[in-house]
Amino acid sequence: MYYRDGKYLELSWHQVYFYFFLSLFFDSLGNGLSVSTNLGSAPWTAGAANLSNVTGVPIAYYLAGTTFLVAIANIFLAHKFVLKRFMGNIAFGLMFSFLAGFFNSLFISMGIQSQALWLKIILDLFGVAMVGVAISAYQRVNFILHPIDDMTNILRFSYFHGSAPKAQMSNFIFAISISLLCWAVSGKIVALNIGTAFSFFMQGNIIAWSDRLVFPHLVHGNMDMTHKDIPVQN
């Protein structure tokens, strides 16, 4: 929805596609950048990176697998099954998975891991922050969501009274458990570092700040056909 001159207006399809693909691009870019530094990434991406490290299977496949599992979990959390919502989760997750995998490979091929530590830290935190801004935008567009971010939306509005930080931290507990399990099996952990801590403690706040500061006229709306857990704007 779009708020202008005291009125709530539906987005045009041109606006929906613009904001959606822009946020998808930056979400994938930010995740790929943070993973490539190996200084910590968003917890779910870190979990996929650790599974990839243990098995040797490309990270994109684990990101895609996570898409299906979390989309199914969302059905139980939301206490309803909406086909359009479920298929949207899958479509977004697959697009994101392979884009993030592409950017990760691209940055590694550009030699990011050989850069100075201080520069990698800056790039890592910038990538994580970029993810938070992107999540804020496409959650407000509410066209289709990555199932992980849809889970955050469900937790935020149905369980935590609109608190983005509480919802995001609850979401991340499951993801960090995956990385810890991989560490227990292999004795090695990757992509779980300063960026993960930054994401865990700050990404919910970044989402909330972005709601107010980035595209401020773009607001959470109500789409009865897909996301009944998002409150109606009054």
Does residue 19 sit within a domain? no
Q: Is 92 exposed, middle or buried (0-12, 13-18, 19+ CB in 10 A)?
A: buried
> What are the φ/ψ torsions at residue 105 (nearest 5 degrees)?
-65, -40
pTM reported for the whole predicted model = 0.80
Nearest to 109 by CA among 5, 222, 32, 52: 32
- pLDDT tens for 190-218 read 887 899 899 889 988 999 999 999 998 88
Does residue 132 sit within a domain? yes
- State the pLDDT at residue 45: 85
Q: Which helix (H) or strand (E) holds 9?
A: strand 7-9
- State the pLDDT at residue 221: 62
The Cβ-side half-sphere exposure at 3, using a 13 Å CA radius, reads 15
- pLDDT tens for 115-129 read 999 999 999 999 999
Does residue 118 sit within a domain? yes
Does residue 126 sit within a domain? yes
Does residue 73 sit within a domain? yes
For residues 43 and 53, is the Cβ–Cβ distance under 8 A? no
* Total tally of structural domains belonging to the chain: 1
Does residue 59 sit within a domain? yes
Does residue 199 sit within a domain? no
Q: Which domain holds residue 108?
A: 25-193
CA pair distance 161, 164, nearest whole angstrom: 9
